[in-house]
Amino acid sequence: MKLVRHAAAVAVIVTGGALALAAPASASASASAPTAAKSAAVAAPSEAPVAKYNGACGAGHKVIDSANMENLGTTFLTYNKTTGENCVVTVRTKAGSPVKMFARLSSKTGGTATDSGQFTTYAGPVYIEAPGECVTWEGGITTYSTKGTGHCG
């Protein structure tokens, strides 16, 4: 799992002891992705969530991964093994005035699901049914975003 602060240049990210190049999120005028010019940072993979999962994905969904955005909040990836449904929700550590947030989930056959806007507590949930398929998930709060890949269900 990687914590990426959006940057204008390509960032070097450490994953499992190996180096990988990761392009920053698009800085297009799209409302679904925040933009900022900040340097890349790496979160420890064993880092405990700074926000609590709020159950927004529903019954049967279990958290299978999470990524923090500093102390602002956490994006959670959940999976329901009965239905093959994946879900992503981004939860703020502390509710407050609305800030730009997003939750995004995609797979090859399931397409992309995104919830983006100004939220006080959380963005999402977004769902994709992708049994036996890998998914890409990410979320963001203000200028911070997370991205994780390689989860197959």
Identify the band that residue 41 occupies on the pLDDT scale cut at 50, 70 and 90: very low
Q: Where are the beta strands (DSSP E) in the chain?
A: 2-5, 11-15, 18-22, 62-69, 73-80, 85-92, 99-107, 111-119, 122-129, 134-141, 144-152
Q: From CA 76, how far away is CA 67, in angstroms rounded?
A: 7
Query: Is residue 86 a contact partner of residue 127, using CB atoms and an 8 Å limit?
Result: yes
The yes-or-no verdict on residue 18 having pLDDT over 80 is no
- pLDDT, one tens digit per residue, over 87-97 is 999 999 999 99
Mean pLDDT computed over 33-59: 64
Q: From CA 117, how far away is CA 103, in angstroms rounded?
A: 10
Chain Cα centroid distance, residue 147: 5
Write down all domains in the chain, each with its CATH number in brackets: 45-152 (2.60.40)
Identify the band that residue 152 occupies on the pLDDT scale cut at 50, 70 and 90: confident
Mean pLDDT computed over 136-149: 89
Q: From CA 124, how far away is CA 57, in angstroms rounded?
A: 8
- Give the N- to C-terminal CA distance of the chain in Å, as an integer: 17
pLDDT at 33: 37
The yes-or-no verdict on residue 125 having pLDDT over 50 is yes
pLDDT at 149: 64
The yes-or-no verdict on residue 19 having pLDDT over 90 is no
Please return the burial class of 85, using the count of CB atoms within 10 Å of its CB with bins 0-12, 13-18 and 19+. buried
Residues in Cβ contact with 113 at an 8 Å cutoff, skipping those fewer than 6 apart: 104, 105, 106, 126, 127, 128
Identify the band that residue 47 occupies on the pLDDT scale cut at 50, 70 and 90: confident
